[in-house]
Amino acid sequence: MAQDDLFKKLIAHTKEYGYIFPSSEIYDGLSAVYDYGQYGVELKNNIKQFWWDAMVKMHENIVGLDSAIFMHPDIWKASGHVGAFNDPLIDNKDSKKRYRADDLVEEHIAKYQAKIDKDVEKGQNKFGDAFNKEQFLATNPNVLRNQEKINEITARLTKALTSDDLVELKQIIIDCEIADPISGSKNWTDVRQFNLMFETLLGSTADGASKIYLRPETAQGIFVNYLNVQKSGRMKIPFGIAQIGKAFRNEIVARQFIFRMREFEQMEMQFFVKPGTELEWFEHWKNLRIKWHKAMGLPEEKYRFHKHDKLAHYANAAFDIEFEFPFGFKELEGIHSRTDFDLKQHQEFSGKKLQFFDPESGESFIPYVVETSVGLDRTFLSVLSGAYYEEELKKENGESDTRVVLRIPPALAPIKLAVLPLIKKDGLPEKAREIIDELKFDFTCQYDEKDSIGRRYRRQDAIGTPYCITIDHDTLKDNMVTIRDRDTMVQERVLITNLAHIVDEKVNMKNLLKKIF
């Protein structure tokens, strides 16, 4: 299936099956804002739990925090967000559409990459096993020409962005003859900087309200609480503070569904270390974080690292973990070695010492920080897009059928088991309820008696429920039920007394954690 089609189907599926709804839909929606439905919220909570367990529960030296969204406005001056949390925007004078100038250039570069990929595919089809991809990439004249274009434009873009050269940024757009993707017009305004922070007022205007910001990242709440946590928890370096929470950014172009939103959630951890040891810790966290993603069991080749060649002025190492979404490889998580920049800035702006006293060496120092920062909504999208399958099935009568199945990692699945009485009478519903009443303390269960059993199986497949339990007339005599596995569709007859153990073996969060630790 073409990736565009897959993405459209996935978006429609998430709405039809109660995962994600466009926000304020009955008022025609609000651009790039989404609500999580009855299954979406369960999956989201399970992802949070997996992250929290992996970061806090599994590490004696990492503790949690839940800081407020509203913070003193000077925090954002100290962090650099007031002065520099900007994106370069450009408007098309004809279509009146607004774009991120760097995105337009990156999309243009991606077209050259797509040409290279297409040539490789053609070569592969033509020569089969005899095809040598590396040699082809190094020698084919078309590939070399396109690669040279990529290198040239990327170098210009990087230079323009690092030096904040907005005139050059516009010149790249003109030189590359980039047109508005909607109207085809090349009639552009100049490039301007646009600050991404949302502002609001604290206090009533009569009292002299003050301007504050909705936090654009959760990290600063951790930095400003560094000393509170260190002292009250008697934490010794190295130690970490983890936080999950909402962040807000007035993105110029918010799109690709929940990939880029104006209100989203982050799961961030700041790890405070002794200066000089930060790059070792950086490697440690880089490896541990990709293990966390891969533990979910989605195809491994969908993950890759992307090294930042252009480092922010405060960082001395940075990598992204990228995931292959239906619209290509994109950032899922950022891992940054942020030196002592943030604590030093807050020390200067607040006038409060933010140091660590090392009783062993008798020295005081500002710790260095390694940050891991992953988008909860992007992780959600990675799980759903990696789990969505349309399968052709052969029926017993030889006809074919299709099923849509969400192969969500069982530990993260919103509903762990559905209990289905074969018919709505003869005491079968009562037996089903009895089983749910026993299992509901450990697992999220769902009762369903509507429609044929086949349709009910399909509904649970589409929701991603790992197990369906069917109650039939024999159940009343032998206390056995049929348990059906979502992925293999294999059905087995088992004793009701064994159900809790069987389900737990499959859906326990421990299964994911044990792949990492």
Instruction: Name the site residues for ligand GAP (rule: CB under 6 A).
Output: 217, 219, 249, 251, 260-261, 264, 266, 268, 331-334, 371, 373-375, 377-378
Cis amide bond preceding 238, omega within 30: yes
Residue with smaller CB distance to ligand GAP, 296 or 415: 296
How many residues are recorded in the chain? 517
The three-state secondary structure class of 296 is coil
Query: Cβ of residue 344: shortest distance to ligand GAP, in angstroms?
Result: 16
Residue with smaller CB distance to ligand GAP, 75 or 432: 75
How far is 464 from 466, CA to CA, in rounded Å?
A: 6
The three-state secondary structure class of 350 is helix
Q: Which two tokens stand for residue 349?
A: 């702006």
Cβ-contact 321, 335 below 8 angstroms:
yes
Query: Cβ of residue 246: shortest distance to ligand GAP, in angstroms?
Result: 11
The residue number whose beta carbon is nearest to ligand GAP equals 375
Cβ-contact 34, 21 below 8 angstroms:
yes
Residue with smaller CB distance to ligand GAP, 42 or 377: 377
Residue with smaller CB distance to ligand GAP, 274 or 308: 308
Q: Which two tokens stand for residue 298?
A: 């989605």
Residue with smaller CB distance to ligand GAP, 318 or 405: 318
Residue with smaller CB distance to ligand GAP, 331 or 485: 331
Query: Cβ of residue 404: shortest distance to ligand GAP, in angstroms?
Result: 26
* 163: amino acid identity, one letter: S
Residue with smaller CB distance to ligand GAP, 248 or 467: 248
310-316 long-range Cβ contacts below 8 angstroms, 24+ apart = 310/158, 310/161, 310/162, 312/336, 313/341, 314/80, 314/338, 314/339, 314/341, 314/342, 315/339, 315/341, 316/278, 316/279
Query: Cβ of residue 491: shortest distance to ligand GAP, in angstroms?
Result: 39
The three-state secondary structure class of 75 is helix
Cβ-contact 240, 269 below 8 angstroms:
yes
Query: Cβ of residue 268: shortest distance to ligand GAP, in angstroms?
Result: 6
Query: Cβ of residue 272: shortest distance to ligand GAP, in angstroms?
Result: 15
Query: Cβ of residue 331: shortest distance to ligand GAP, in angstroms?
Result: 5
How far is 455 from 452, CA to CA, in rounded Å?
A: 5
Residue with smaller CB distance to ligand GAP, 268 or 461: 268
Q: Which two tokens stand for residue 169?
A: 């940024």
Cβ-contact 486, 461 below 8 angstroms:
yes
The DSSP letter of residue 366 is P
Q: Cα-Cα-Cα-Cα dihedral of 453, 457, 459, 462, to 10°?
A: -170
Residue with smaller CB distance to ligand GAP, 44 or 260: 260
Query: Cβ of residue 224: shortest distance to ligand GAP, in angstroms?
Result: 14
Query: Cβ of residue 291: shortest distance to ligand GAP, in angstroms?
Result: 17
Cβ-contact 208, 244 below 8 angstroms:
no
